Amino acid sequence: MRLHREGLLTILLIILVSCLTVYAAWAWLPRVAVWPIAAVMAVLLGIVVWFFRSPLRPQGGNDTLVLAPCDGKVVVVEEVTETEYFKDRRVQVSIFMSPLNVHVNYHPINGTITYRQYHKGKYLVAWHPKSSTENERCTVVVKHASHGEVLIRQIAGALARRIRTYPNPGDPVVQGTEMGFIKFGSRVDLFLPLTANIAVRVGEVVKGATSIIAQNED
């Protein structure tokens, strides 16, 4: 299992804290109390390592498809007015990532980054309707040569306190490669053209860089 680079410092910190905790328990507590404490610290380390896993996913894909930008459950599929960049009607598809999901974010299409903007904000629960516009978030737009632009918005949740976004405006990107990472429970919104054929529905579980979200009209 590969570990994501965003988790290396956190994992090292947990290892250090675990070692110090077990050492202190060994020095100051009865031996019978040491093993339960060691077991708890081992479980904690295992949870953190599992959270920062980074599985290999296919890259390149199909230019006619929009793939899922993350693992999780679809919580919104609806037509809305996108007010930050397009300022017109779009189809919004939102995916909620629980703390148990892989938290790597992937580019849903091939293309070039035309826009990136970070916004400070609140930490409402990620499935809250206002989290898309009021929470801490980062908006990225990718332009495909044939199918136009797709907006991806990374949104922090009640537990998430760090959004990482890797590409910059002008960068070429490949479908299925890493776009970023969000720590500890969060959400990703996609804003697609009204002509896109949506392939998912609310409640469906999707897999980043693998599940088909929509197919673009030629």
Residue numbers annotated as active site: 186
Q: What is the CA angle 11-95-207, rounded to 5? A: 70
User: Cβ of 196: how many Cβ atoms within 10 Å?
Assistant: 20
Strands (E), 2-135: 65-67, 72-82, 88-97, 104-106, 111-119
User: Could you tell me which residues come within 8 angstroms of residue 216 by beta carbon, excluding any fewer than 6 positions away?
Assistant: 64, 65, 66, 144, 146, 147, 193, 195, 196, 197
Give the pair of three-digit tokens for residue 108. 């849903």
**With 0-12 CB in 10 A as exposed, 13-18 as middle and 19+ as buried, what is 120?**
exposed
